[in-house]
Structures are given as C-alpha cells and as structure tokens.
Amino acid sequence: MSGARPLIALPGRCAESAAGLRTEVIAAGARYATALERAGAAPVVLPPFDDLDDAAALARARLVLARVDGLVMVGGADIDPARYGAARHSKTEGLDQRQDAFELALLAAAIADDVPVLAICRGMQALNVVLGGTLLQHLPDDAGRQPHRKVHHDVHLSADSLVAAAAQAVDISGHSVHHQCVDRVGDGLRVTGRAGDGTIEAVELDHGWVVGVQWHPEDTAHDDQHQSALFEAIVERARAKMP
C-alpha cells in the first residue's frame, strides 16, 4: 500500500478495568485497528466526550473529526430506543447514554463535513438512528428468520452499490453478532444489502462515502479478501481527502 497513512478514528468506550492497568480505561476492539493498519491507515481511538448536550457534543465532534481523515464506527451494546422514539424491549440491554450521545454526534459531524465512514454492526444501527430511522430491537426466533448471532451467513449486495464496489463482489459471507437490525430506514439512506431472510445488512448514504454493514468484517479480514477490501476502500477514500 503506497502513500501516506490517513488517520482514521475509532470511537472508544469507557470500561472499569483492563489487565495490567490500575485505573479505568478507554478501549476499542483491536481487530478494527489491526484491519485498518493492514489496509494502510493509522487508527486513532477517540475518548468519549464528557457529559454534553447534543449540540455541544456535535460541536466537539466536528472539531475532532477536522483532524482525521475517516471514521470507522464499531460494534457494541444496544442503542437507547428513546433515541428513536420507542419503548424499551425486554431484550434490549447494555444502554449507555454517554456512549450514544458521543457516537451519534460523531456520525452527525461526519455526514455534515463529508468525512468517509464505515459503520459496522451497532455503528450501522447508529447511522440509521442519527438519520431518523428506527431499529427492530430483537430479531424474532421463528422459522422464517435465519440465525444472526455468532454465525457466518451469506449477504447479497446491490451490484451498483458502494459496498459491492468496495468488497469487489455481490455475494459474500459475513460474521454476524447482532440481535437487532434496521427497521425503518433513515432519511437519505439506501438499502444495499440483505441476508437471505430479508434482514437489512448494508446501507449507504445518498452522497459522500458513508457505508454501513451489519456484519463484522474485522473478524475475518485477515483471511477473507472481500472483508479486507472494505477497510482498504475506506482507507483509499480517506487518503483522497488528505491535503
């Protein structure tokens, strides 16, 4: 991979402890950073903002993202359904108001300022929510729907989509670890990938380079060229933005 390494941000998450460290930590999954490094980027982990209202968080996010070249939104716990006007389902868990405010602000800032985005799993769901969409809070366990949690399954991509161009294929297999999915699609988003049971697996914005995937390409990027190509695509788009 030739050329300078673009800086690509990963949102960090606060945790109470980690092996070998005495105090609280801010962390992001190593597989995302490894996939980005392999693709030619320099990943940076962003600490969650202090408690801020949405307007202040957006202003902070725009300031931070002005100093990087791209953004990868990562997987994680469920988004508070109050963010999309829904009551909480009994299966919805792990809510973190600070994390939601932080990540939604990053996405809003990236969209406003044309920062390339690859949004993965929770990241894709957050992308949908920030654009006014809703989520199905728990995939029903019935005969008409395939398993989506901790399984590899096939995804069919629209041939004319950014994600298919990035993955260099229209039929791929992805590793999924989710129990929620996009329901009503957010404003300006186009559905560009589905699983065999109809579950929305990929979306993209109608302008810029903003792609969401419901599976986890970082899990298999080390030995699946279609998954590694997704990271290479955002790196190339981010590099094109560099001065």
pLDDT in tens, 41-94: 999 999 999 878 889 999 999 999 999 999 999 999 999 999 999 999 999 999
Q: What does pLDDT average to over the chain?
A: 93
Active site residue 121: yes
pLDDT of residue 143: 47
Taking alpha carbons only, the member of 45, 8, 75 closest to residue 231 is 8
pLDDT digits (tens, 9 = 90+) for 95-153: 999 999 999 999 999 999 999 999 999 999 999 999 999 999 998 765 456 678 788 88
Task: Evaluate if residue 174 carries a pLDDT over 60.
Answer: yes
State how far the alpha carbon of 198 is from the alpha carbons of 18, 83, 139, 194, in Å.
Answer: 39, 24, 12, 5
What CATH topology corresponds to 7-241?
A: Rossmann fold (3.40.50)
Task: Evaluate if residue 2 carries a pLDDT over 70.
Answer: no
Which listed residue (148, 178, 216, 226) is catalytic? 216
pLDDT of residue 238: 98
Active site residue 37: no
Which listed residue (103, 121, 181, 232) is catalytic? 121
Which listed residue (218, 226, 232, 236) is catalytic? 218
Taking alpha carbons only, the member of 127, 100, 148 closest to residue 192 is 127
d(CA 180, CA 106): 21
Task: Evaluate if residue 27 carries a pLDDT over 70.
Answer: yes
Burial class from Cβ neighbours inside 10 Å (0-12, 13-18, 19+) for residue 233 reads: buried
pLDDT of residue 4: 87
Q: What is the pTM of this model?
A: 0.94
- ∠ CA 150-172-194, nearest 5°, is 75
φ, ψ (nearest 5 deg) of residue 236 = -65, -40
Percent of the chain with pLDDT over 90: 83
d(CA 196, CA 147): 11
Task: Evaluate if residue 3 carries a pLDDT over 80.
Answer: no
d(CA 5, CA 14): 27
Active site residue 216: yes
